[in-house]
């Protein structure tokens, strides 16, 4: 065992983990370092895309389709061009000249940038008005006249696959229906056999509704083509600036070294800022044509209605089990809605993302899953919003089904989980669908969560309330999930052909401080702080002496960006490996400075100093070594002190957790209140517990939004009816309870610092726990499932169905005294 992994031996043994200051005391691993990013944000000095101003900058407003499905008969620009300050109106025809009217998606489909013939969803991009300011651009957009021949839309995946459904994709040769793709995993025949013979089987239908990540900052870009340098610079809200540069080069024909993508501060991404949207291309193309900078910033409704949605999986789950609760097989069938284009942002060989992690935390020998995806007259998307490539859907499926099975067998759902968990000594564990789980200790996390939640006492209280016919029912929900994050091994994972490695470049300056550049792109997750902590730990530096940069493709090493909780698993590994390369060279310089043999030099993690073995007083710090590298370098080495690493991960990381949610359900109103919300996460070794805690809080709030409030809805005409903040409801401080968080530490054995990703775990893990809790409150009335979002009216309907609803009129004495005294009743 190397000295680096020995450092974490205690954790692997399940020993106690210090909460703080387990690093070297100067901002290393495990310390709650305050964020370097904060200073600029709390003083209003962040630099987001809409803060970018350039001389001569024009503004772009996109003309969008009012119809979900319609043929464009003609576009009249003339009235828009008459508006004072309107510089240009672009349509598909103008872009065709540059071969930019369409662009490839990440799933080998083709998406319109501006529509040439037929709009396929409401709010789709039809034309772009470029003007001197944003108000005039909007005026111009109002005056573009588009002549539509309206067609029947289809916004429901099931209806889209029916024989008489209107054909959406008549642009694809040979496509004569709305079928998008089929996918399967596991062993169909073996699974069918187990189900045929199993003593117990359960089945449940569930819709993981269409959501939207809705980062508070919408998407936007400033395209700036410089004809003097023949160079295109695009500032954009990008989670993956390097891959965006490559795609821009492929689409535009401009060579990659003449494109610079800058992702400045990003006001939240949540997967929404991974795809390339038509707005980016239009801003860049307009700048190229007009030779002036062009800014495009979408409004909230445009963001929700046209950029990447999340989920929209209509799932059937089945479990086969023994009578004492041992799960024998799992089977699922999914109908996926992919919208009008297959533009799902995921590795190219995974058309259903990592959905086949649906065997979850359980040792299930046999599994089969099938999926059909349909085109509908809705915006494209699918993978976003902390989903880790469809792991949200997979975990929802299995964790809901375990509860359904527990109810069927009248067993405690915690017991069913314990009975089926993959055991610590089974890792690395190969799942029935081919995943290779790195490490885990699931029972430990569950036990901790149950204890924190005071589980037994609440079970007691739940029974009491049922017996006493109380007005408010108690429900207890559990979710014991396994995530799969850190895409990924280049042999299987690529984005548009580029393997999913990531990178770090460390440059130690002559005076001993350092600049670190990474290929990932923070959107608030604190990389500028945590990556500095990794390097500080590995080089014995002070965290304040390290600056982390990202987001500029001209200066940063190529990386695949931040999504799928991949930053720590992949670029975090690269930062550690690059640090160790620097340390290796530093050893050689230390030997030169101390006039000792290189093999006699040892490095001490605690002090961060290099010293001569057996003579600890003969030591030298990284600051002195840095000076030596530039001012007195050994003849055997190049001058300077820097290293780069492109890290191809050998495996994914598999963080896990157990969440316990306790709710009160009001039998009169169907309102759900959170009584207790416990989240125990295990992401291996923890770089910065404060930042992890913040990630968990935010992700749990999104889980609550998912379960209780959020839904992008459509009417029969294809109008988006849940398309802005008036009716796409984000939780406020009033809807979010206080969270109780805990953790265990089971390091990833293959990761250089034993760390796993964690950012998406809370949103993956919490929705099933919440739904399980609400179902649990009503399961004695025979309720086995409640669809999300669990609005009061929907919960009340379930209460009513179970015979548990109370008519408010029976319990409330209505008085009108207040009204009368105000004189309202008299008017």
Partner 1 sequence: MTEHDITLTVNGTEYELTVESRTLLVHALRDELNYTGPNVGCESSMCGACTVHLNGEAIKSCTMFAVQADGAEITTVEALADRDSLHPIQESFSEEHGLQCGYCTPGMIMTTQELLERNPDPDEEEIREALEGNLCRCTGYQNIVKAVESAAEKMRETTATAEVDD
Q: Is 205 in the site for partner 1 (CB under 8 A)?
A: no
Answer for which of 40, 229, 257, 464 binds partner 1 (CB under 8 A) is 40
Among 766, 770, 796, which Cα is nearest to 781's?
796
Helix (H/G/I), strand (E/B), else coil: 334: strand
Name the minimum Å distance from CB 389 to partner 1. Answer: 20
User: Are 277 and 220 in contact, with CB atoms under 8 Å apart?
Assistant: no
Answer for which of 498, 691, 712, 805 binds partner 1 (CB under 8 A) is 691
Among 264, 270, 274, which Cα is nearest to 234's?
264
Window contacting partner 1 (CB under 8 A); options: 157-165, 180-188, 448-456, 522-530: 522-530
**387 has catalytic annotation:** yes
Binding string, residues 116-155; x marks residues near partner 1 by CB under 8 A: -----------------xxx--------------------
E strand or H helix at 409: helix 391-409
Answer for which of 14, 18, 20, 51 binds partner 1 (CB under 8 A) is 51
Answer for which of 216, 597, 615, 824 binds partner 1 (CB under 8 A) is 216
* Tokens matching residue 490: 């280049």
User: Are 213 and 730 in contact, with CB atoms under 8 Å apart?
Assistant: no
**760 has catalytic annotation:** yes
Answer for which of 415, 597, 725, 824 binds partner 1 (CB under 8 A) is 725
Q: Is 20 in the site for partner 1 (CB under 8 A)?
A: no
Q: Is 624 in the site for partner 1 (CB under 8 A)?
A: no
User: Are 357 and 369 in contact, with CB atoms under 8 Å apart?
Assistant: no
Q: Is 54 in the site for partner 1 (CB under 8 A)?
A: no
Window contacting partner 1 (CB under 8 A); options: 22-30, 370-378, 663-671, 692-700: 692-700
Q: Select 51 or 197, whichever has its Cβ closest to partner 1.
A: 51
Q: Select 32 or 800, whichever has its Cβ closest to partner 1.
A: 32
Q: Select 301 or 372, whichever has its Cβ closest to partner 1.
A: 301
User: Are 680 and 743 in contact, with CB atoms under 8 Å apart?
Assistant: yes
Name the minimum Å distance from CB 529 to partner 1. Answer: 10
Name the minimum Å distance from CB 470 to partner 1. Answer: 24
Answer for which of 181, 452, 466, 730 binds partner 1 (CB under 8 A) is 730
Annotated catalytic residue, options 111, 122, 124, 239 = 239
Contacts with 432 (C-beta within 8 Å, 6 or more apart), sequence order: 186, 187, 359, 364, 365, 366, 367
Window contacting partner 1 (CB under 8 A); options: 346-354, 357-365, 723-731, 818-826: 723-731
Window contacting partner 1 (CB under 8 A); options: 158-166, 202-210, 215-223, 488-496: 215-223
Window contacting partner 1 (CB under 8 A); options: 43-51, 181-189, 449-457, 618-626: 43-51
* Tokens matching residue 349: 């060989």
Question: Mind spelling out the 3-state secondary structure of 721-779?
Answer: CCCCCCCCCCCCCCCCCCCEEEECCCCCCCCCCCECCCCCHHHHHHHHHHHHHHHHHHH
Answer for which of 279, 526, 559, 718 binds partner 1 (CB under 8 A) is 526
Contacts with 772 (C-beta within 8 Å, 6 or more apart), sequence order: 399, 400, 403, 413, 475, 477, 478, 479, 661
Q: Is 34 in the site for partner 1 (CB under 8 A)?
A: yes
**b/e sequence 231-244, b meaning 16+ C-beta within 10 Å:** bbbbbbbbbbbbbb
Say which DSSP state 684 is in: B
Subset of residues 297 to 316 that bind partner 1, contact rule: CB under 8 A: 299-301
Binding string, residues 477-516; x marks residues near partner 1 by CB under 8 A: ----------------------------------------
Name the minimum Å distance from CB 51 to partner 1. Answer: 4
Helix (H/G/I), strand (E/B), else coil: 184: strand
Binding string, residues 631-670; x marks residues near partner 1 by CB under 8 A: ----------------------------------------
Q: Is 690 in the site for partner 1 (CB under 8 A)?
A: yes
Q: At what angle do helices 761-778 and 689-708 cross, to 10 degrees?
A: 40
Q: Can you say whether residue 537 is alpha, beta or left, with left for phi > 0 and alpha for psi between -120 and 50 degrees?
A: alpha
The beta-strand segments (E) located in 401-501 are: 429-430, 436-437, 472-482, 494-495, 498-499
User: Are 708 and 736 in contact, with CB atoms under 8 Å apart?
Assistant: no
Kindly list the distances between the CA atom of residue 190 and the CA atoms of 315, 330, 805, in Å, as whole numbers in the listed order: 21, 11, 43
Q: Is 693 in the site for partner 1 (CB under 8 A)?
A: yes
Give residue for tokens 């061009």. Answer: 81
User: Are 297 and 316 in contact, with CB atoms under 8 Å apart?
Assistant: no
Annotated catalytic residue, options 180, 387, 493, 683 = 387
Q: Is 44 in the site for partner 1 (CB under 8 A)?
A: yes
Q: How many residues touch partner 1 (CB under 8 A)?
A: 59
Name the minimum Å distance from CB 697 to partner 1. Answer: 3
Kindly list the distances between the CA atom of residue 592 and the CA atoms of 8, 415, 508, 631, 733, in Å, as whole numbers in the listed order: 31, 62, 18, 12, 59
Annotated catalytic residue, options 64, 260, 331, 386 = 386
Say which DSSP state 422 is in: P
**239 has catalytic annotation:** yes
* Tokens matching residue 365: 């020998």
Answer for which of 23, 186, 241, 267 binds partner 1 (CB under 8 A) is 267
In DSSP notation, 641-665 reads EEEEEEE--SS-B--EEEEEEEEEE
Binding string, residues 731-770; x marks residues near partner 1 by CB under 8 A: -xxx-x-xx-------------------------------
Q: Select 377 or 521, whichever has its Cβ closest to partner 1.
A: 521
Answer for which of 193, 412, 724, 797 binds partner 1 (CB under 8 A) is 724
Q: Is 523 in the site for partner 1 (CB under 8 A)?
A: yes
Name the minimum Å distance from CB 699 to partner 1. Answer: 8
Say which DSSP state 50 is in: G
Give residue for tokens 């089977």. Answer: 331
Answer for which of 66, 640, 694, 792 binds partner 1 (CB under 8 A) is 694
Q: Residues in the site for partner 1, rule: CB under 8 A?
A: 34-35, 37-46, 48, 50-51, 53, 133-135, 214-218, 265-270, 299-301, 523-526, 690-691, 693-702, 724-726, 730, 732-734, 736, 738-739
Write out the catalytic residue numbers: 239, 386-387, 760
């Amino acid at each position: 065992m190397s000295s680096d992994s020995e450092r974490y031996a205690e954790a692997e043994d399940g020993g106690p983990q210090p909460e703080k200051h387990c690093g070297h005391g100067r901002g290393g691993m495990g310390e709650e370092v305050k964020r370097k990013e904060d200073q600029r944000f709390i003083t209003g000095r962040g630099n987001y895309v809409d803060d970018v101003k350039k001389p001569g900058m024009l503004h772009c407003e996109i003309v969008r389709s009012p119809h979900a499905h319609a043929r464009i008969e003609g576009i009249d620009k003339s009235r828009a061009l008459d508006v004072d300050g309107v510089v240009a109106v672009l349509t598909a025809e103008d872009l065709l000249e540059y071969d930019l009217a369409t662009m490839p998606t990440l799933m080998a489909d083709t998406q319109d940038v501006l529509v040439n013939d037929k709009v396929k969803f409401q709010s789709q991009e039809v034309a772009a008005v470029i003007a001197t300011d944003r108000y005039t651009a909007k005026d111009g957009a109002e005056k573009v006249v588009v002549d539509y021949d309206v067609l029947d839309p289809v916004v429901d995946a099931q209806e889209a696959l029916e024989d008489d459904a209107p054909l959406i994709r008549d642009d694809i040769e040979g496509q004569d229906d709305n079928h998008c793709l089929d996918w399967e995993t596991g062993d169909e025949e073996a699974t069918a056999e187990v189900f045929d013979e199993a003593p117990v089987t359960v089945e449940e239908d569930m819709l993981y509704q269409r959501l939207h990540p809705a980062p508070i900052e919408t998407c936007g870009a400033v395209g700036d083509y410089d004809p003097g340098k023949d160079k295109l610079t695009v500032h954009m809200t990008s989670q993956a600036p390097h891959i965006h540069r490559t795609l821009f080069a492929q689409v535009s024909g401009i060579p990659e070294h003449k494109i610079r993508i800058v992702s400045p501060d990003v006001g939240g991404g949540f997967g929404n800022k991974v795809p390339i949207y038509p707005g980016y291309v239009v801003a860049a193309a307009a700048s190229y044509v007009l030779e002036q900078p062009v800014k495009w910033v979408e409004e909230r409704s445009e963001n929700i209605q046209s950029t990447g949605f999340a989920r929209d999986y209509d799932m059937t789950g089945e479990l086969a089990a023994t009578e004492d609760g041992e799960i024998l097989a799992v089977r699922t069938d999914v109908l996926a809605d992919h919208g009008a284009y297959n533009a799902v942002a995921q590795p190219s060989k995974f058309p259903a993302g990592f959905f086949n992690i649906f065997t979850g935390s359980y040792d299930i020998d046999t599994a089969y899953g099938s999926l059909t995806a349909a085109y509908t007259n809705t915006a494209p998307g699918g993978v976003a919003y902390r989903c880790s490539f469809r792991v949200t859907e997979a975990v929802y499926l299995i964790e809901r089904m375990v509860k359904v099975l527990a109810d069927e067998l009248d067993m405690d759902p915690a017991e069913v989980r314990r009975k089926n968990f993959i055991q610590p000594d089974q890792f690395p564990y190969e799942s029935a669908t081919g995943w290779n789980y790195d490490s885990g200790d699931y029972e430990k996390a569950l036990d901790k969560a149950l204890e924190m939640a005071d589980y037994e006492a609440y079970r007691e209280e739940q029974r009491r309330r049922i017996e006493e016919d109380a007005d408010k029912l108690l429900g207890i929900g559990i979710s014991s999930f396994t995530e799969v994050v850190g895409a990924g091994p280049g042999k299987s994972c690529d984005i548009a052909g580029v393997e999913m490695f990531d990178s770090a470049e460390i440059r130690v300056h002559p005076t001993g401080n350092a600049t670190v550049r990474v290929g990932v792109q923070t959107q608030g997750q604190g990389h500028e702080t945590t990556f500095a902590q990794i390097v500080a730990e590995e080089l014995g530096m002070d965290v304040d002496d390290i600056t982390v940069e990202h987001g500029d493709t001209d200066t940063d090493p190529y990386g695949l960006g931040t999504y799928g909780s991949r930053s720590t698993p992949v670029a975090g590994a690269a930062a550690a490996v690059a640090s160790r390369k620097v340390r290796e060279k530093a050893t050689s310089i230390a030997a030169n400075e101390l006039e000792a043999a290189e093999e006699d030099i040892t490095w001490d993690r605690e002090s961060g100093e290099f010293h001569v073995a057996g003579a600890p007083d003969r030591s030298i710090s990284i600051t002195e070594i840095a000076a030596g590298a530039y001012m007195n370098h050994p003849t055997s080495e190049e001058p300077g002190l820097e290293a780069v690493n492109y890290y191809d991960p050998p495996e994914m990381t598999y963080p896990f957790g157990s969440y316990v949610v306790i709710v009160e359900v009001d039998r009169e109103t169907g309102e759900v209140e959170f009584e207790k919300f416990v989240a125990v996460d295990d992401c291996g070794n923890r770089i910065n517990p404060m930042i992890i805690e913040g990630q968990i809080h935010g992700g749990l709030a999104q889980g609550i939004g998912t379960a209780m409030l959020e839904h992008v809805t459509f009417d029969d005409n294809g109008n988006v009816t849940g398309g802005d903040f008036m009716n796409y409801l984000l939780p406020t401080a009033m809807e979010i309870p206080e969270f109780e968080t805990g953790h265990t530490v089971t390091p990833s054995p293959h990761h250089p610092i034993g760390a796993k990703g964690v950012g998406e775990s809370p949103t993956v893990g919490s929705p099933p726990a919440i739904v399980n809790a609400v179902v649990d409150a009503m399961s004695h009335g025979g309720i086995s499932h409640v669809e999300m979002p669990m609005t009061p009216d929907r919960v009340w309907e379930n209460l009513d169905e179970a015979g548990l609803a109370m008519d408010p009129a029976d319990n409330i004495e209505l008085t009108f005294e207040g009204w009368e005294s105000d004189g309202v009743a008299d008017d």
